Amino acid sequence: MHVIQRGMNRQICFTSDADLAAYAHWLAEGVKKFVVELHGWVFMTNHVHLLLTSGDDNAVSKLMQFLGRLYVRHFNYYYARTGSLYEGRFKSSLVQDDIYLLICLRYIELNPIRAGIFTDPGDYQWSSYAAHGFGNNISMLTPHPLYLALGETKSEREQNYRELIGDSLGADVITKIRHCANKELILGTEKFKQQFEELTGDSLIR
């Protein structure tokens, strides 16, 4: 699942590395507490992207409520403010693993590049790229099986992923990911969407 949480009216949610570190700390606590697998992330100034898997339909919601409660309390206290920080409930999009998982992961980790902050994703500290591309040990990360399938050895996977993320995403792909995330639709093929609807009775196939 691709999850996005934005600041209200796109206002700043993180003003310093200390803020980002606090959010990362509670995210690490939360994925453990609610048994959610975290496959990728990026923390931007006014929003975050997370790539998650959970066997419990409610676990992601519980995780985001946990994060929101602790982080907003921290932010309001340190900046002497009150009220909401985020624009309501988080947005989420179910991702078809075999087709779109690694594409969505690349989209997430390339956010700082599209934003013009850096030209190399390896230069940005607050994403999961350092783990995927260079093997940094980040305890809250659970490598997705599709990432692990990129190579038989750790170094081979890292090399193959660096080459993969070096391939630019097409404008049509970026538009589709954004549309599905913002409208909370399935990011997948039409066949996958139809199968999901038949299995669950949930018509998230617009």
- Tens of pLDDT, residues 106-125: 999 999 999 999 989 999 99
- β-bridge mates for residue 89, sequence order: none
15's tokens: 């003003």
The Cβ of residue 199 has, within 10 Å, a number of other Cβ atoms equal to 8
| Amino acid 198: pLDDT | 60
Q: What is the pTM of this model?
A: 0.91
| Amino acid 188: pLDDT | 83
How does DSSP classify residue 184? T
| Amino acid 58: pLDDT | 92
> May I ask the CATH architecture of the domain 2-190?
2-Layer Sandwich (3.30)
7's tokens: 């600041």
Amino acid at site 192:
F
| Amino acid 196: pLDDT | 66
Alpha helices in 39-189 (DSSP H): 59-78, 97-109, 111-114, 129-134, 145-148, 154-166, 171-183
| Amino acid 127: pLDDT | 97
Q: With left for phi above 0 and alpha for psi between -120 and 50, is residue 196 left, alpha or beta?
A: alpha
Domain ranges of the chain: 2-190
